[in-house]
Structure 1
């Protein structure tokens, strides 16, 4: 550790290289982060963003280069050193302790830093409550004792996201990294987060904001940093770049914002919902879905859209109403029922609900097909499983040298395609995509959208549940808007403007 000039930026990343087996993840990346500034780190999945974040936060060491924090040079930072230096990270997986209370989670960073990486057996409850109340209220959450005492595992994903951000605020960090912080937030919560970021900036806190949502980056302002293939390819005020320019810098090619939807729905109704209801979540939901149709369903987090998705997939079944396939009532009381009826479901949270991260790509692909792959004596036909997995990898353009690689070695976009591929293996009649491109870069989005259109042309009836309005407008035939557990409106996607859908989404009327 060497002392250098103390004046200047809070953090400098100088000539950072990082290599993994067969992959040069970062190639001489140099960056400078001023105090009280906001930076947007953009790039395709696999470009090196996550590796850079882990090096700055102390989770991984660089192979070459140095980190200069407030004038002090480090060959590497340990996790506790990073915390002690005022570097706090809100990871995409949130890193919260589900069996601890909201207040205890908010205090985690301070406790870890104060006790050498270990949690104390007891907390100063009064100090804890004061700190938690201030931080929670700063992100728009209640600071009252009842909420502070709530176990994190009892909270919806969007609220947990805000708790993780409150933890960074409570630590009085000087440099906050936010990795995809808005993936589970409604527009109202995003607007609140933007105000929180402005407040942090005013207090001199530096923020590194990682996101695939360019509209949010423009609304926040600040500088943009673009990585591609492990190298910095651009940096400057975000207002100096158009969306098209940023997309081209990220991918190395031009991407279009035009509608992907070229075909149209067939006339044969494949799935019909009649009066579906689940207490406290949704009621009287009815709609039809034709062969080859792409139907979008959107709404705020409390609209019932997520609960409806899980009901259609048998994860949390409807308690009233009925589902018909090809005009015949069917029972969808479990995921196994859905699979038997060839209804595929890609969940919103692929890491915790969809994938077996430490298992090979092949095993993840064949999960829904295991009964069909068993031989006479109950063992799985490995040759057939390998062949099926390789076909899915090829057809969905999954970037991997072989199907034996663990899924966790893939980028987010490739992981999502593995999950889609699992359900294509059962030759689905209906495919339900819940947040199909959450945490996915623009290049992978383009690939996934083209896959969706190809599947629709092949006659697969598709439902997209999403709050990404451009995604719905670019890919769907119809869009259903849910409010307060009911379908409030139906639109033709090709006759709808984003601004009109946005205003309808936020209006109070059901």
Structure 2
């Protein structure tokens, strides 16, 4: 018999913001229900209420018609409600093994019972859970040594290791390859057959239509629609999310292409990158296309001095540069907007102002190295307005912003620093269609100003839509260079999967 979970009249406020306004939401066990909306619409806030992370809400939660009080994550889990957050590194313990992370809930429950951990049994149970989900990761491997995709699957394994009636997945496919996404959908369908209700938060509409039976659309903290998937189209979902018709997503760049700014010759690192060569001109947007794990992120980090160059050379504005650290890269005129924005791109505990001025703080200092706070705040305020960052003020903490607004802060930091080469690594990951368009326009403006741009993405439609030329990466090396206007997604995918 199906279990019904209902949220009725849910409202919640934060300082200066009414995040949810009288929201109703329901899901049945054995089905997948999509929850969508632009960044800041209230999706994650609603799910944090359901999972016990936010307790100062008004409204009621019911399970099979019985009112339930959920005042902590522990109480949510006792009712069979589990959540897998998008930012996987904040939910895993890197120095523990895969098995310990999968069985963490059980280990915590047994604390204080004065019983020894039976490590053989723990790893055996974890291995069985992983095998049932077709996840091929050794139970005794340390989590810090896993790929981002593997970490995501370990979190899902942990969620279903206990009695799970409703599983909330927040952008679960963002770090996954096509193959890994297919595996996730297999797991989702198996969980549905076992009677688990899935709440699926995603900005990737084709995936939602593939795996979900119903959809709820939110906008500005309110529910604006709840439909069966067969009764709505993708374009209608976008219009409901934005409250208007969606114009052309990709802007006309129309930038003048100048001289070569960056040359990379025979570049290799100690791990993934092997004999990469490419060049980049002023005003040009050059794509790095490839599947998850192809080496795009690793190449971006090598160019930014985050990891060491083994062989090869980097030539910037005609001069060979030594990039032994990010500090060297910034001094040379390179900027990186990383894939993991919360972990590497922004200081989540700091204010919007502090983040926006972090890379250029020296320009606000006098001869005695004292920061002119007034000038700093004024410049940050200008940037907040010009980028359309939705924040109550420059003093708002970045951790309280939506994903799209966090990404704008990560980009804005480098706009103030005024680099020559901008490297964007998966810049639209976890970002809604409205914020994506804003980010594309920001990148187009940089190109029009004569900046040279690397755009690394596994979203091939974005590569086609925004770049001039594209290098395809496969297994850590560039396999082909293509003029973007003369290629298509099918050809990019062919080379991304090892085609010759």
Q: Scaled by the length of structure 2, what TM-score is found? A: 0.95
Is 2:421 the partner of 1:393? Answer: no
Unaligned runs of at least 5 residues, structure 2: none
Q: Aligned equivalents of 1:193 and 1:483: distance in 2? A: 23
Is 2:248 the partner of 1:254? Answer: no
The Cα offsets for residues 43-90 of structure 1, whole Å up to 9 and x where unpaired, read as 111111111111111111253211112332124343212111111111
Is 2:151 the partner of 1:160? Answer: yes
Q: Aligned equivalents of 1:215 and 1:119: distance in 2? A: 47
Is 2:481 the partner of 1:490? Answer: yes
Residue 311 of structure 1: aligned partner: 302
SS at match of 1:277: strand
SS at match of 1:181: coil
Residue 15 of structure 1: aligned partner: 9
**In the alignment, is the contact (CA less than 8 A) between 2:53 and 2:72 conserved in 1?**
yes
SS at match of 1:394: helix
**In the alignment, is the contact (CA less than 8 A) between 1:345 and 1:431 conserved in 2?**
yes
Q: What displacement does 1:238 show?
A: 2.4
Structure 2 residue corresponding to 1:137, chosen from 131, 134, 149: 131
Residue 3 of structure 1: aligned partner: none
Q: What displacement does 1:91 show?
A: 1.0
Residue 362 of structure 2: aligned partner: 371
Structure 2 residue corresponding to 1:178, chosen from 169, 175, 181: 169
What's the C-alpha RMSD, in Å, of the aligned pairs?
1.9
Residue 82 of structure 2: aligned partner: 88
The Cα offsets for residues 280-301 of structure 1, whole Å up to 9 and x where unpaired, read as 3112111111111111102123
Does the C-alpha gap of structure 1 residues 10 and 130 become closer, same or farther in structure 2, counting only changes over 3 Å?
farther
Residue 121 of structure 2: aligned partner: 127
Q: What displacement does 1:430 show?
A: 0.5
SS at match of 1:282: coil
The Cα offsets for residues 364-395 of structure 1, whole Å up to 9 and x where unpaired, read as 11111123332111211222212221221122
Does the C-alpha gap of structure 1 residues 239 and 262 become closer, same or farther in structure 2, counting only changes over 3 Å?
farther
Is 2:396 the partner of 1:402? Answer: no
Does the C-alpha gap of structure 1 residues 120 and 205 become closer, same or farther in structure 2, counting only changes over 3 Å?
farther
Residue 238 of structure 1: aligned partner: 229
**In the alignment, is the contact (CA less than 8 A) between 1:83 and 1:109 conserved in 2?**
no
SS at match of 2:238: helix
Residue 42 of structure 2: aligned partner: 48
**In the alignment, is the contact (CA less than 8 A) between 1:275 and 1:285 conserved in 2?**
yes
Q: Scaled by the length of structure 1, what TM-score is found? A: 0.93
Residue 383 of structure 1: aligned partner: 374
Q: Aligned equivalents of 2:227 and 2:113: distance in 1? A: 41
Residue 189 of structure 1: aligned partner: 180
Residue 438 of structure 2: aligned partner: 447
Q: Aligned equivalents of 2:165 and 2:393: distance in 1? A: 42
Residue 100 of structure 1: aligned partner: 96
Structure 2 residue corresponding to 1:419, chosen from 388, 410, 418: 410
Q: What displacement does 1:121 show?
A: 6.9
Residue 39 of structure 1: aligned partner: 33
Does the C-alpha gap of structure 1 residues 223 and 368 become closer, same or farther in structure 2, counting only changes over 3 Å?
same
Q: What displacement does 1:258 show?
A: 5.3
Structure 1 residue corresponding to 2:261, chosen from 255, 264, 270: 270
**In the alignment, is the contact (CA less than 8 A) between 1:265 and 1:477 conserved in 2?**
no
**In the alignment, is the contact (CA less than 8 A) between 2:249 and 2:437 conserved in 1?**
no
Q: What displacement does 1:120 show?
A: 7.5
Q: Number of matched residues?
A: 498
Q: Aligned equivalents of 1:120 and 1:172: distance in 2? A: 24
Is 2:206 the partner of 1:215? Answer: yes
**In the alignment, is the contact (CA less than 8 A) between 1:259 and 1:473 conserved in 2?**
no
SS at match of 2:274: strand
Residue 352 of structure 1: aligned partner: 343
**In the alignment, is the contact (CA less than 8 A) between 1:264 and 1:477 conserved in 2?**
no
Q: Aligned equivalents of 2:492 and 2:229: distance in 1? A: 26
Residue 300 of structure 1: aligned partner: 291
